Amino acid sequence: MQKPTIAIIGPGRAGSALGRALHGAGYAIAAIFARRPERGQLLAAELGARLTRTPEGALDLADLTILAVPDDVIGPLAGDLAGAQCAGAGRAVVHLSGAQDRTPLLPLQQAGLRTGVFHAVQTFKTGADTVRNIPGTLFGIDADEPLAGALQAMAIALGGEPFDLRGVDRARYHAAAVFVANYPITLLAEARRLMEQSGVSAPTAQRALVQLLRGTLNNLNGGDPEDALTGPAVRGDGRTIQRHLAVLRDDPELQQLYRRLADRTLALAVKSGRLTQVQANGLRTTLLEAI
């Protein structure tokens, strides 16, 4: 299957990472459009792409255009592109959002373009090295043939694994991804603050907790989450939980978060057979008594 030429509209974190990865996988990046040209110039030069003055100019130069823009922008941008009467025959447009289906791209479909979703279940930060996150990534795909096949081939060429997003509840699916991609960062920030308050220096706390997080991921090793559980809730160590809740009294919101997470952890521990339901109920009483 011949690789399509690619245009990227919105070279932010995800767009830049995918552009670099696709370029490395042998895809020709024909065009890039950036709302702020200075943000796209270096990437265009790096990838041998043309920096266009308009998004429709980028679409006209490629077989497949990637809309790497915020969710709320996808629909209006699709409408603008369709209204510009771009050359649609044989061309395709996809967005990268995990929270939306193909509906925002309907104006383009009605204008004769193929449309789809190409969602990387991955997180990206600013910088060229974030492309290292892509190998092994799963890519959710929602498209009709022949575009679906082209997107599946693209995911495999990137070292990833395609899967079918059609019929998936996108809000629930994306909420699941947010729990893993975003909220551990928030929890890490709270944990570092607590460790600093305990008397550990900020750099040491950061290194210790990041290494701990790596160990937690290693413990998963492709198994079920409940099999990787450790900590006082799983051990049935009510006294340690009481001490934790006591020191968190000066931050009621964080104490409540700890309590809720501990409660969900107890449910996982029962599911794994590490605790009986009676033991878990006893620990839940401890959680409530600490309010």
Residue 87 above 80 pLDDT? no
Residue 280 above 90 pLDDT? no
Q: Got the DSSP string for 100-150?
A: --SGGGHHHHHTT-EEEEEEES----SSGGGGGG-TT-EEEEEE-TTHHHH
Q: CB-based contacts of 53: which residues, under 8 Å, 6+ apart?
A: 33
The structure's pTM equals 0.90
Decide if 63 contacts 88 (C-beta within 8 A). Answer: no
As a whole number of angstroms, the distance between CA 60 and CA 87 comes to 6
- Please give the pLDDT value at position 86: 58
Tens-place pLDDT, residues 190-219: 999 999 999 999 999 999 999 999 999 998
**Helix/strand/coil (H/E/C) assignment for every residue in 209-248:** HHHHHHHHHHHHCCCCHHHHCCCHHHHCCHHHHHHHHHHC
Three-state secondary structure call for residue 162: strand
- Please give the pLDDT value at position 37: 83
Tens-place pLDDT, residues 63-78: 999 999 999 999 999 9
Decide if 79 contacts 106 (C-beta within 8 A). Answer: no
Weakest mean pLDDT among 28-32, 108-112, 163-167, 273-277 = 273-277
